Amino acid sequence: MVETVVDILQRSREVYEGYTSPLGIGFIVFGGGDYKAGAGGCAPATPGPGDGPYGQSCPTSPGVSSAGSRRRRLDLHGGLDHYWVDPCSNYGQSNYSYYGLGCDRTSRGTGYADDYAPANRDVFNDVDKCPTKLLLWFHNLAWSKPMPKPANYTPTTGGETVSLYDYIRWTHEDAVEQAKDLAAAWDGLEGLVDEERFEGVKARFAQQVRDAGVMRDAIMSQYTSWYHRRWPPE
Q: How far apart are CA 100 and CA 110, in angstroms?
A: 18
Q: How does pLDDT run across 22-44, given as a tens digit for each residue?
A: 899 877 776 655 555 555 678 88
Enter the pTM of the model: 0.85
Q: How does pLDDT run across 178-220, given as a tens digit for each residue?
A: 999 999 999 998 999 899 999 999 999 999 999 899 889 888 9
* pLDDT of amino acid 36: 55
Q: How far apart are CA 177 and CA 28, in angstroms?
A: 20
Residue 15 counted as domain residue: yes
Residue 51 counted as domain residue: yes
50 or 24, which is more confident: 24
Q: 13 is in which domain, residue-wise?
A: 2-103+140-227
The rounded Cα 153 to chain-centroid distance in angstroms is 19
Residue 134 counted as domain residue: no
Q: How far apart are CA 187 and CA 203, in angstroms?
A: 10
CATH number, residue 72: 3.90.1330
Give how many domains the chain has, as a whole number. 1
Residue 189 counted as domain residue: yes
Amino acid identity of residue 69, one-letter, is S
Residue 128 counted as domain residue: no
Please say whether the beta carbons of 35 and 87 come within 8 A: no
